Chains A and B, each alone.
Chain A
């Protein structure tokens, strides 16, 4: 987007994606409602860029990430990756698509099989999707370990022998094994200490440069997203409320939710901290099984109007590349 190296080719195209989970109750497990975890989101991700997806817990950002890779059977909408529609492809046919799209999970402890050695974990995608010989596989695994900064000598060790940051490197090496184009990073640094977070973020940036990767970077940490993302989408209760380039979003947020969210981030500088104009939101996020009528944010919005309580705001482009869903701009 911003650098010359980044093309204008759309790699991932998400349109009106909906992911609703049914709620069953009673002895007959009757369907009594649904959790609208993702309720109609649309965006494009350009080749070679990082799109940051931010929001509070429960806003549907992780569900969106998984739905885009079709780890769920989506309720509605379309997802195109590299020109191929995968929204309605049956799971067995998707298998052949998997090498192009990979995922790095939040909890490196839970996403690595404790009974497999590091070499087996990183090599598993190669067993599934390639017909390399044993020696070739071993060579590939070792070179992947080099790329993510893991010592080759540790190939036969098990995940519990590694620290959190190193485990996350194993997860990243596994995602890289099949030379993917698109990687969904679902809170890859949330479980790590601050001093280790920077190491992993720098690694992700280096790998992006080296292999021309495209990331969807899901996080609740706005300051990290500001660092790594080229464009940022803000989600609230299953919808994207604002999407803009990094510079615009952080310097000139338009949606009242984005404004409040940014102002709530604590500032690690006592002088700046004093000058921050805090917008304190009242109350909590409503339940996604019973979202408010009209705008999802109307129950907490400091600038709420009558129309917000009855009508859902349309998504409008307020400036080139800057979209927001708010009645203030429609």
Chain B
């Protein structure tokens, strides 16, 4: 967090545990990150890695019980979201923090017109009257590239195609000029040509509006094209964090390295055989006491099974939670590791 500007969102040591009759699931384990104004933070990981649950926990969208969300604080413009009351959270969600969910069909209400759904946050949060809200709704639909916006306000979600529905979702999320937009796999349900349209739209909107974005995806290709910084999640933890180019050029966690190799590309050299990551992702029954990637990791050694690696700072805004040092090609010595970690904590 070297460069000046204060973060708009600062998450410290967030943990989410689901308590069920069949036992507890530790979905998010000590996640810390911050979001700077105007940047796009990509979050990658496979299903079950905790990327969605993290974002939904910090804004209070996970029902509790069964979930228990704890942490050292989620600072959003001076407010600790973990301590905020339901009313406070409600006034923040949709107004200062916007959401776009994966499936545009299930996240729009099928019995209300699209116009009504865009105008709802405007009237609730901004106190606009019907006419002003309507005018703004037309502007918003035009902003996200829906032709014939005025007339389309009266249409219901089922009258829109998938890509158009996702544009409507983005329009709703942007309605109140949020400081932060959280987009949870917004293009996963869409076809590639439509995905390309939405990504292009996102580029334009960021230039025009300058909000900070958290973009959750499992697609490394999307991340490469759109993100400024990237968090890689595995087993409910952040295993690597770096600026996008640094991450793709010098991946320092074995999981990131394997993930980058396992994805084929339509351009460049074609691999004769795909590299695989053997084994299965972990099921998180308890708080990790060892590295959660160790059973699938080709570099794992004895220490990895004894202790859960902290995130080691390796400079240039890059950190990785791994005891193995790819720069020296040998395990990190634990002593220097701990010292480094303490120094990092002191600096922070």
The chain A residues found within 8 Å of chain B, CB to CB, are: 56-57, 163, 165, 193-199, 201-202, 205, 220, 222-224, 226-227, 250, 260-273, 276, 278, 280-281, 284-285
Given A222-B266, A226-B270, A266-B281 contact (CB < 8 Å)? no
Bound Cα distance from A276 to B266, whole angstroms: 11
CB of B333 closer than 8 Å to a CB of A: no
B33 at the interface (CB under 8 A from A): no
**A163 CA / B283 CA spacing, docked (Å):** 11
Cβ-defined partner of A222 (8 Å) among B46, B192, B222, B271: B192
- Name B's A-contacting residues (CB within 8 A): 46-47, 161-164, 191-197, 199-200, 218-225, 244-245, 248, 258-260, 262-268, 270-271, 273-278, 280-281
Contact A264 B192 (CB under 8 A): yes
Residue of A nearest to B263 (CB): A268
User: In the complex, A268 Cα to B194 Cα: how many Å?
Assistant: 18
**Cβ-defined partner of B259 (8 Å) among A194, A263, A278:** A194
Among B220, B262, B264, find the residue whose CB has the most chain A CB atoms closer than 10 A.
Answer: B264
Contact in complex: B264, A193 (CB < 8 Å): no
The verdict on A281 contacting B218 (CB below 8 Å), with A195-B276, A198-B262 known, is: no
Residue contact A270 to B224, C-beta cutoff 8 Å: yes
Complex Cα–Cα for A267 and B271 (A): 15
With both beta carbons as reference points, the residue of chain B lying nearest to A272 in the complex is identified as: B267
CA distance A201 to B263 in the complex (A): 12
A266-B225 contact, Cβ under 8 Å, with A165-B280, A201-B274, A278-B196: yes
Question: Could you tell me the distance between the alpha carbons of A199 and B270 in the complex, rounded to whole angstroms?
Answer: 17
Contact B161–A284 (Cβ < 8 Å) = yes
Q: Is the CB of A264 within 8 A of B196?
A: yes
> Which among B46, B163, B265 is the interface contact of A268 at CB below 8 angstroms?
B265
- B274 to A198, Cβ gap below 8 A? yes
Residues of B within 8 Å of A276, CB to CB, are 267
CB pair A268 B224 closer than 8 Å: yes
| Of the residues B192, B221, B273, contact of A56 by C-beta under 8 Å | B192
A198 contact set on B, CB distance < 8 A:
262, 274-277
From A193, A250, A261, A273, B193 is in contact (CB under 8 Å) with: A261
CA distance A268 to B220 in the complex (A): 5
Given contacts A268-B221, A284-B194, 17 further A-B contacts (CB under 8 A): A56-B192, A193-B47, A195-B259, A223-B263, A223-B265, A226-B266, A227-B264, A227-B271, A263-B196, A266-B222, A268-B248, A268-B263, A270-B244, A272-B268, A273-B221, A278-B196, A280-B196
How distant is A41 from chain B, measured CB to nearest CB, in Å? 20
CB-defined A-B contacts under 8 Å, sample of 23:
A56-B191, A56-B192, A57-B191, A197-B262, A198-B274, A198-B277, A202-B274, A202-B276, A224-B264, A227-B274, A264-B192, A265-B192, A266-B195, A266-B222, A266-B224, A269-B224, A269-B265, A270-B245, A271-B245, A272-B265, A273-B221, A276-B267, A284-B164
Tell me the bound Cα distance from A148 to B193 in angstroms.
34
CB <8 Å contact, A267 and B192: no
Give bound CA distance, A194 to B222, whole Å. 14
Contacts of A201 in B (CB 8 A): 274
Q: Is A199's CB under 8 angstroms from B164's CB?
A: no
CA distance A280 to B145 in the complex (A): 13
